[in-house]
A and B are shown apart, each in its own frame.
Chain A
């Protein structure tokens, strides 16, 4: 079997549901860590998806998602900081 399909299925079928579970349970900071895992897993799954579908134009989505997830996480950390 094609390793690209196997890897992408593993990311979508195993890592992504686990990350989503982590992003939905626990305290706010624990959920934030889960969200970061979710972002990384999604970006890698989208990279693999572009390879599997042989569509290089799809790769703009994970590139933009990588930049936006960084900014989004920093905004969340700002909002979660305890007030002095």
Chain B
């Protein structure tokens, strides 16, 4: 097994560990805002690490391009989805006015 394969497998398993730990740690939390704190590492750290691991494993190819595209989609849209959910949670609690533009 080459060094590149070891790095690729390490990145992949590290990303999987981040996702699994984030999901497991969110289980006892009751507030949506608290759970959002654990969604952030899932989308901003776990998913890119998994994508990097898979991209390193596949080398320069169209497969890698698609994997990187998927990882980038999660990386970019994750914080947007989290902030949208946090905004709704704040609206329902009355922390921000309801008539602010969405």
Contacts and interface: CB of A to CB of B under 8 A. Distances in A.
Contact of B84 (A34, A37, A74): A74
Contact of A44 (B10, B46, B89, B91): B46
For the residues of B in contact with A, the DSSP-based class is helix
B89 A29 contact: yes
B88 interface: yes
Interface of A: 3-4, 6-7, 10-11, 14-15, 18-19, 21-22, 26-27, 29-30, 32-34, 36-37, 40-41, 43-44, 47-48, 51, 56, 59-60, 62-63, 66-67, 69-70, 73-74, 77-78, 80-84
Contact of A84 (B10, B87, B99): B99
B16 A11 contact: yes
Interface of B: 9-10, 12-13, 15-17, 19-20, 22-24, 26-27, 30-32, 35-36, 38-39, 42-43, 46-47, 50-51, 54, 57-58, 61-63, 66-67, 69-70, 73-74, 77-78, 80-82, 84-85, 87-89, 91-92, 98-99, 102
